[in-house]
């Protein structure tokens, strides 16, 4: 059966497996203190064009959000996110579990509006009662968003301007960063991302790795004793080499970007074909997640041929479903999918 | 200067001070294990017409919300509250500090709508992804609400029906319970409240006590080892007699209800007079908090004569302010206020 | 029946009740922003001879320990305390509940040894693995200790020297501070305490108040947005006047010290009489708690005449029990107790 | 250079890498809901001879300890561990971060004594004040311990008897379980372990996997909504296949036990050789960690030839160092090590 359920249904890019096998019997120290982690960090800093950046590797995305948010916030602060943000909805309360509130502003197809953010912060300070409230202490956005949308360079610049004005750090969740950067609609480079926020992460799990996210702290924002905090969160990987070798491979010869491009190319083929066939989309996504509005009556037969992601109920007779492509999606599978639809 | 800033600007009802003085030198055990706590508990149970209820005394309201919510929730659950609820906004993240998320539904002049609550819970279970989400595990409403409004018996019955259908306990924050029960618009008795929820508290701090809230667990809902949890929260008062004597006094000869009635009578006088003078109200409050929409230009002169609560900005030229009456508000002060306005 | 169970069995010193009654109907703002809190803070600062100190009022002792420790520690740090310290044993996990570990060093009749503390910290830094361990981030001692013992000026100076050398703040739990300062063995003044630590609290609950502890932050150590943190902990009292008036009274005309002296005088009478009668003491306590080793066979008859505190099993046939005096203990009661024994 | 620093210096057993490569392009659902996880779970249950056991896969050891302890404890409970236990010392406060206290009993070469445990629990209940203390709610031991020692069947049976008598679940940290079961001194089978506790984990990270621990809940002890709790802890791996394939491989044809045997054989060779050469051991370890007491003066030259683990200072002139073998340790390396020493 065809499977477009998510962008993490396959294992790792073959080059990663190859490198893991080649380096397998080398004796290396644990906890990301090894030559592959070091090399990967240098390559990522070079790709970000930021030699002062500090890079740390973590296994998974929720864990990364939890750790970054908890370690960047002061105890009287919360994180501001879109009401549709991953940290707001789909992390089983992982942020609140660290003792911090998620403060929400509206999401527009997953995106935060700089003016609304500015008003939210201004309103907080205008409230006479704000000593009984949680201070906005970090702004969280995702790129691409949970809805596949991306920020333009202007939009991101504007959000970061608000953050800097209020001295609130900006955190970009890049679980699918490669797919955002490879979008035909995108006008941001990786080095722009590094400039326009205080911390972000480069998603590996959804972009070719077995697991792994690379946190990049820019502008000297790495929290004190970060290794200790990582351990306290249960997030310090013993065999750090697993993360080092993977990111070292992904950032050699632009592999990360090349394989991201494949996901986008395949997604655009699907989008074009479905538009021509008259399908309706929930929104105009320029990245690897495409959200199609289907009549409920069609779903039971569709389910027999292809696995897709349930997204949301649109109305009593329609449902939005998600087709996700990835680094691993082949031409054949996409053609088959188009045929099925 | 006149002061209508809040309902906790005076000390305690004189009878309470008298009783504290009379019992002052009796040697009593600590931690609410004394004859006054015992007596107060019995009187509260009688007033609630629920002999199986279990009563516990806590010093303050945020502390009570924090303790009840944390001890009633399972670790995978959060509390559902109105977006305007005290626990959602004005407790400085006290609920999240316990590791639990506050899930919000719309507040309508501070009130939760049973149908919206039902839909919120249904949507949660309909989401294919709900194992990555926080389960609704407790419903929190306040009576009266933060906006002074109250639920009718029908409305409360309907909310509790939804809760029971989903096996989610209902918690009523009664920080101003006396003022709600004494409202001319109210059709609920204290015994109805006890029947129509799983835990509630009877506010003392705002209704005649120096401090103190009486939690009433009904329907066998008191959490295991509650004393231990109270201590862990830092909420176990050493000289529990301070709470026992106060609630024993408040629940002798209906003092709690008599003094609540005064607040309502005074508030209704203010409301009537201001309506006659053509003032506009933010909403139609039937309790001791009255929210008046004022032109900003008038505030600076008003401020010289009376302390009021800033509530919220209405538009660029208008502000909503709050006048709160209490058990201690006198005819003279109300007349003066009306004169000033 | 006689009652020497603890030092919080009576209500408040009569002058406190009088002042509460006198000020009862004054309209005051909440949350410790009122003239009595302000006045009390000034008097405490004067008594401490530290005009830069910052004073905050909290209702109870466990709550105070929890709040001070949580707000003084960084997220990778824990608090160092004696294994017998109140925070280590008898606060139902209140410190761990804030996410912080209590690191223990031996207690010697309740006291910490400066050399052992120094070694503990040195050992921590010597452990190659300390990035996987909790950093010592605050030192907690109590004065007097849970065993009634006190530190000499030399001993406290030495502990503080270790702390300053390692840049670790020192916190003194003064739940019974008055009783320690009034001991005939004591050579420390309140102003010495203020100099020789970074934060301490002056216990009210056990020394004449209905409730209340006054935290004194010295050397500019008050955490940022402390009111907000207090609210988040559920520890911000609405009617702050209750704390302000009490401490204002206690620090007027040296009332705090005078009533502390009574407890010590009575305790010394008991100690002397019991020594003369040949009783054995668990340890030599110079303050208001006296620990007597009794044959178990005598306890059942003793229990009929006097309430005492069970302290600990000494061996199969002996038990240590505690007699506590307080500001409220009278000559008559002490004479009766001596007669009974 | 030779490296005996730890048992996680190499990558994965080659068969694991092979299986990862073979299954790499299969499209599988995430979050450990895939055929390899299912198959691995069945094989583990069979190996445990417990068809009712429930198996869950987690990436790392500290994370597993944190999740198991937090989800098994009630809010008024703590975990009892040896003072040398991994959770007590070397997890950077990860347990306290979940809000729970680690209660300690003495460790004897890393082992808990059943009689001391029994006394600890009895003393807790004997303390009149235990409502102000943390209840012992889970017992944590490790097998082998942090010192390489193991429990005999009699010893484990006795500890479990105490636990069952007090209705406190027993949790065995099996980070190195394979090495314990393969020890010549061991008389416990995997199925005995499953019978003699309530939850344990089978360590993968240190026994042949790139990462991964398999939690086995026996006696119906799996907490409600465990997936949700795992997500909340940030511990739910997206590509669960990584864990499924690894454990499926380890539990096919007894691979887990065969490779564990190698570590033991190599460790015993080292032990025997060093004993013959007159080396002193810190303790008599029957598993893959050998602790040798060295003169400090020898360490600087030794360091040039072999990486070892610093263990602890023995006295001013001696240090205990650790040599760890693993599934990957070869005859050649062991011979070289013996030669160097």
Q: For the beta carbon of residue A295, count every other beta carbon within 10 angstroms.
A: 10
Interface test mutation site (partner A, options B128, B132, B138, B321, max chain A beta carbons within 10 A): B132
Q: CA dihedral defined by A246, A250, A256, A260, rounded to 10 degrees? A: -40
User: Taking CB atoms and an 8 Å limit, are D92 and C132 in contact across chains?
Assistant: yes
| Distance of alpha carbon B213 from alpha carbon B205, whole angstroms | 7
| Interface residue ranges in chain A relative to chain C, Cβ cutoff 8 Å | 70-71, 74-76, 99, 131-133, 135, 224-225, 227-229, 231-232, 236
Interval B8-30 mean pLDDT:
98
Number of separate helices (H) and strands (E) present in chain D: 14, 13
Interval A152-178 mean pLDDT:
98
**pLDDT for position B1:** 87
**pLDDT for position B107:** 98
Chain B CB contacts of C307 below 8 Å: 27
- C221-225, C227-231, D180-184, D314-318: which has the minimum mean pLDDT? D314-318
| Distance of alpha carbon A236 from alpha carbon A56, whole angstroms | 10
The residues near A24 (Cβ < 8 Å, ≥ 6 apart) are D10, D11, D12, D14, D17
Chain B CB contacts of C26 below 8 Å: 10-11
Question: What is the set of domains in chain D, with CATH numbers?
Answer: 2-8+257-340 (3.90.1150.10), 14-255 (3.40.640.10)
CA distance A71 to chain C (A): 8
Q: Please, what is the average pLDDT of chain D?
A: 97
pLDDT tens by residue, A208-242: 999 999 999 999 999 999 999 999 999 999 999 99
Q: Quick one: what percent of chain D has pLDDT higher than 70?
A: 100
pLDDT at D312 over 80: yes
| Distance of alpha carbon B160 from alpha carbon B180, whole angstroms | 18
Chain A CB contacts of B131 below 8 Å: 92
Tokens for C231?
């609210």
User: Taking CB atoms and an 8 Å limit, are C99 and D100 in contact across chains?
Assistant: no
| Distance of alpha carbon B296 from alpha carbon B314, whole angstroms | 10
User: Taking CB atoms and an 8 Å limit, are A89 and B310 in contact across chains?
Assistant: no
| Distance of alpha carbon C234 from alpha carbon B87, whole angstroms | 11
User: Taking CB atoms and an 8 Å limit, are C92 and D133 in contact across chains?
Assistant: yes
User: Taking CB atoms and an 8 Å limit, are B237 and C59 in contact across chains?
Assistant: yes
pLDDT band of B126, cuts 50, 70, 90: confident
Chain B CB contacts of A320 below 8 Å: none
**pLDDT for position B36:** 98
pLDDT at B128 over 80: no
User: Taking CB atoms and an 8 Å limit, are C128 and D93 in contact across chains?
Assistant: no
Q: Quick one: what percent of chain B has pLDDT higher than 90?
A: 97
pLDDT at B42 over 90: yes
Tokens for D200?
């344990």
| Distance of alpha carbon A198 from alpha carbon A168, whole angstroms | 9
**pLDDT for position D152:** 98
pLDDT band of A126, cuts 50, 70, 90: confident
The residues near B330 (Cβ < 8 Å, ≥ 6 apart) are B266
pLDDT band of A184, cuts 50, 70, 90: very high
Chain B CB contacts of C61 below 8 Å: 238
For residue C104, the 8-state DSSP code is: E
pLDDT band of D303, cuts 50, 70, 90: very high
**pLDDT for position D129:** 83
In this complex, the residue of B78, B126, B312 whose CB is nearest that of residue A93 is: B78
pLDDT tens by residue, B130-177: 999 999 999 999 999 999 999 999 999 999 999 999 999 999 999 999
Tokens for C70?
């949580």
Q: Quick one: what percent of chain C has pLDDT higher than 90?
A: 97
In this complex, the residue of C76, C225, C231 whose CB is nearest that of residue A229 is: C76
Q: Please, what is the average pLDDT of chain B?
A: 97
Interval C90-106 mean pLDDT:
97
Contact C232, B97 (CB under 8 A): yes
- B56-60, C94-98, C308-312, D94-98: which has the minimum mean pLDDT? C308-312
**pLDDT for position D220:** 96
User: Taking CB atoms and an 8 Å limit, are D100 and C93 in contact across chains?
Assistant: yes
pLDDT tens by residue, D248-262: 999 999 999 999 999
User: Taking CB atoms and an 8 Å limit, are A76 and C132 in contact across chains?
Assistant: no
User: Taking CB atoms and an 8 Å limit, are A20 and D25 in contact across chains?
Assistant: no
* Cα–Cα distances in angstroms (integers) from residue D99 to residues A243, B68, D70, D73, D95, in the given order: 30, 17, 8, 10, 7
Closest CA to A219 of A67, A54, A43, A48: A54
| Interface residue ranges in chain C relative to chain D, Cβ cutoff 8 Å | 76, 78, 89-93, 96-97, 99-102, 126, 128-129, 131-134, 310, 313
Q: Which residues of B47-76 are buried (b: 16+ CB within 10 A; e: fewer)?
A: bbebeebbbbbbbbbbbbbbbbbbbbbebb
User: Taking CB atoms and an 8 Å limit, are C76 and A135 in contact across chains?
Assistant: no
pLDDT band of D126, cuts 50, 70, 90: confident
Relative to beta strand A135-142, strand A170-173 is parallel
Q: For the beta carbon of residue C236, count every other beta carbon within 10 angstroms.
A: 29
Contact C207, C250 (CB under 8 A): yes
Number of separate helices (H) and strands (E) present in chain A: 14, 13
| Distance of alpha carbon B216 from alpha carbon C125, whole angstroms | 50
Chain C CB contacts of B26 below 8 Å: 10-11
pLDDT at D127 over 90: no
User: Quick one: closest CA in B to D230, which residue?
Assistant: B132
pLDDT band of A70, cuts 50, 70, 90: very high
In this complex, the residue of D70, D74, D227 whose CB is nearest that of residue B131 is: D227
Q: Quick one: what percent of chain C has pLDDT higher than 70?
A: 100
Contact A289, A322 (CB under 8 A): yes
Tokens for B260?
């609540």
Interval B173-201 mean pLDDT:
98
- What three-state secondary structure class fits C56? strand
Closest CA to A218 of A190, A179, A252: A190
Interface test mutation site (partner C, options A75, A96, A225, A237, max chain C beta carbons within 10 A): A75
Interval D39-54 mean pLDDT:
98
pLDDT at C189 over 80: yes
| Distance of alpha carbon A194 from alpha carbon A53, whole angstroms | 8
Asked if the bond preceding A144 is cis, omega within 30° of 0, the reply is yes
**pLDDT for position B127:** 80
Partners of chain B (3+ Cβ pairs below 8 A): A, C, D
Whole-complex ipTM: 0.97
D257, exposed or middle or buried, with CB in 10 Å at 0-12, 13-18, 19+?
A: middle
């Amino acid at each position: 059966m065809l499977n477009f359920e998510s962008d993490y249904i396959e294992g790792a890019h073959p080059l990663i497996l190859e490198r893991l096998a080649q380096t397998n019997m080398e004796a290396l120290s644990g906890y990301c203190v090894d030559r592959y982690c070091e090399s990967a960090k240098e390559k990522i800093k070079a790709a970000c064009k930021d030699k002062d950046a500090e890079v740390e590797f973590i296994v998974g995305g929720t864990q990364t959000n939890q750790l970054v948010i908890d370690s960047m916030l002061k105890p009287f602060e919360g994180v501001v996110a879109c009401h549709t943000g991953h940290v707001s909805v789909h992390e089983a309360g992982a942020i609140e579990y660290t003792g911090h509130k998620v403060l929400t502003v509206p999401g527009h197809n997953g995106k935060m509006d700089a003016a609304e953010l500015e008003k939210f912060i201004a309103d907080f300070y205008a409230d006479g009662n704000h000593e009984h409230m949680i201070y906005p202490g970090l702004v969280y956005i995702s790129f691409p968003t949970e809805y596949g949308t991306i920020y333009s360079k202007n939009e991101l610049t504007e959000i970061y301007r608000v953050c800097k004005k209020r001295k609130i750090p900006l955190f970009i969740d890049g679980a699918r960063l490669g797919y955002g950067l490879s979008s035909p609609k995108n006008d941001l480079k990786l080095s722009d991302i590094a400039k326009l926020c205080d911390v972000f992460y480069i998603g590996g799990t959804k972009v070719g790795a077995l697991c792994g996210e690379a946190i990049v702290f820019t502008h000297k924002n790495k929290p004190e004793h970060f290794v200790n905090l990582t351990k306290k969160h249960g997030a310090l990987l013993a065999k750090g080499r697993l993360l080092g070798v993977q990111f070292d491979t992904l950032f050699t010869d632009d592999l990360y970007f090349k394989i991201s491009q494949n996901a986008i190319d395949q997604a655009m083929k699907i989008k074009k074909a479905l538009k021509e066939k008259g399908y309706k989309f929930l929104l105009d996504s320029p990245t690897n997640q495409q959200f199609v509005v289907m009549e409920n009556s069609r779903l039971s037969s569709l389910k027999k041929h292809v696995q897709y992601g349930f997204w949301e109920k649109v109305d009593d007779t329609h449902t939005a479903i998600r087709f996700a492509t990835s680094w691993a999606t082949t031409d054949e599978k996409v053609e088959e999918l188009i045929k099925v639809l």
